[in-house]
């Protein structure tokens, strides 16, 4: 059994306390950023004359060696050393004695762990941005694969208006672009250096916080040492960004799960991303999509987990904050594999065009186009809405489409209707009539596809 850190204590720590307070079981993944931060700190200490250049080189060389051992799996982790920071510092002191004891000069574990978390989060943001870019490119590739395919668009899961399939895919490109922008904005607040704020009040030693910030690639230095100790805003914001990414993935997964059913029959999924049944030999289940949808629960749950953790904490560091990593790591670990799998599913799937086309005229997808035709003829919008509604009810009673209604009956419904109404009746014509910017018609969609190709080419 070990004594608590430092010379203040006279009793060994109860082993149950060691087990209760340890975080090495989950924070060991911070080892690389902890070593990176410590090397920058040692470089700054030498620059400020608090250690010699030779001591700096000795510290950095052994830190590098410790990092290699951890990466190789040959480093021994011990519960009594509690966290990754103490493990690395203890190993350094064991190897180079008092020189290693100088490394912690001018810093605390409070600013050290915040620095580690910010470096780790920054790396994660950059990694996720790359994965989201690949996801966008997969949806953009689908736009070419499904060029010209018209699909029913839905509201309330009821057929509404016809849109090009590429319009669906571009909707997800837009969603994931907003996710990328949120991460980029979050990165601005992540990329502020806490290092050198020490425990809560700063230090009387002549350190150079701007130097460590530059060495670690931070854009700025945190201006209030008291705030640094308790600041976990960036983690809450980061996890919220993850929750929205996961929610967008879940929306896509849910839609494709529906489309894969016999009832919809819009989609074929690759065999590599479906599973069979233990008892029903005919089954192909969209388990990967269901798990992507299901993992959203874990990611979203991390947001209130962190908020509740921070609620009612007094200023500066409190040990409660050790729990922050569990929420963030859990959300990141749940989301990342989903982003890795999604592009392959998207590109490998196939729209069942024959099934889609066979029912494309179902659901009066041209009703809105007919109403807008009447508006262009001078009919007030609400009057046009009522007129087309009555025509739809008439068609439902007769079991026919709007395009099947004789011209005489159309004119009886509204005397302003003429032969040019045929240009908007039928799903293909109704889709072709769409012309506003951002709409699901050919002109708008083709322009957006070209614009996104150019935009993502520069990403």
Active site residues: 156, 277
Cβ 83 vs Cβ 22: under 8 Å:
yes
Nearest to 285, CA basis, from 296, 295, 273 = 273
Cβ 63 vs Cβ 99: under 8 Å:
no
Q: Which two tokens stand for residue 116?
A: 């580690």
Cβ 292 vs Cβ 277: under 8 Å:
no
For residues 180 and 245, what is the distance between their CA atoms, to the nearest angstrom? Answer: 9
CA distances for 371 relative to 160, 247, 363, angstroms: 13, 35, 15
Q: Is the dihedral of CA 95, 99, 101, 106 positive or negative?
A: negative
For residues 153 and 372, what is the distance between their CA atoms, to the nearest angstrom? Answer: 17
Cβ 249 vs Cβ 339: under 8 Å:
yes
Q: Tell which phi-psi region holds residue 202, choosing left (phi > 0), alpha (psi between -120 and 50) or beta.
A: left
For residues 242 and 246, what is the distance between their CA atoms, to the nearest angstrom? Answer: 6
For residues 101 and 92, what is the distance between their CA atoms, to the nearest angstrom? Answer: 8
Cβ 391 vs Cβ 384: under 8 Å:
no
């Amino acid at each position: 059994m070990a004594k608590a850190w430092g010379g203040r204590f006279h009793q060994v720590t109860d082993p149950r306390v060691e087990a209760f307070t340890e975080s090495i079981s989950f924070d060991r993944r911070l080892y690389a950023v902890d070593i990176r931060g410590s090397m920058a700190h040692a470089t700054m200490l030498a620059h400020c004359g608090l250690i010699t250049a030779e001591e700096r080189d000795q510290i950095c060389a052994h830190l590098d060696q410790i990092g290699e051992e951890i990466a190789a799996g040959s480093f021994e982790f011990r519960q009594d050393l509690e966290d990754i920071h103490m493990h690395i510092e203890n190993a350094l002191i064991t190897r180079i004695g008092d020189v290693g004891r100088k490394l912690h000069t001018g810093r605390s574990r409070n600013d050290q762990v915040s620095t580690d978390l910010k470096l780790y989060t920054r790396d994660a943001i950059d990694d996720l941005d790359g994965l989201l870019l690949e996801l966008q490119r997969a949806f953009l590739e689908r736009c070419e694969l499904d060029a010209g395919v018209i699909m029913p668009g839905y509201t309330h899961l009821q057929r509404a208006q016809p849109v090009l399939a590429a319009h669906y895919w571009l909707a997800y490109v837009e969603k994931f672009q907003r996710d990328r922008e949120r991460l980029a904005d979050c990165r601005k607040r992540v990329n502020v250096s806490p290092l050198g704020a020490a425990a809560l009040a700063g230090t009387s030693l002549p350190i150079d916080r701007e130097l460590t910030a530059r060495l670690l690639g931070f854009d700025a230095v945190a201006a209030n040492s008291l705030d640094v100790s308790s600041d976990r805003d960036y983690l809450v914001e980061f996890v919220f960004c993850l929750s929205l990414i996961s929610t967008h993935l879940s929306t896509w997964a849910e839609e494709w799960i529906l489309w894969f059913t016999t009832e919809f029959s819009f989609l074929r999924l690759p065999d590599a991303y479906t599973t069979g049944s233990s008892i029903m030999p005919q089954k192909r289940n969209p388990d990967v999509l269901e798990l992507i949808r299901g993992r959203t629960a874990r990611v979203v749950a991390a947001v209130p987990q962190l908020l509740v953790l921070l609620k009612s904490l007094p200023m500066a560091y409190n040990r409660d904050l050790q729990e922050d990593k569990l929420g963030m790591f859990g959300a990141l670990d749940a989301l990342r594999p989903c982003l890795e799998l999604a592009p392959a599913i998207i590109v490998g799937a196939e729209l069942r065009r024959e099934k889609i086309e066979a029912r494309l005229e179902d659901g009066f997808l041209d009703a809105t186009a007919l109403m807008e035709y009447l508006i262009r003829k001078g009919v007030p919008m609400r009057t046009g809405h009522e007129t087309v509604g009555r025509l739809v009810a008439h068609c439902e009673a007769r079991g026919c489409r709007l395009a099947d209604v004789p011209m005489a009956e159309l004119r009886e419904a509204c005397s302003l209707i003429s032969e040019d109404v045929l240009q908007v009746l039928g799903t293909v014509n109704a889709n072709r009539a769409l012309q506003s910017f951002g709409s699901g018609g050919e002109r708008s969609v083709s322009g957006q596809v070209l614009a996104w190709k150019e935009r993502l080419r520069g990403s």
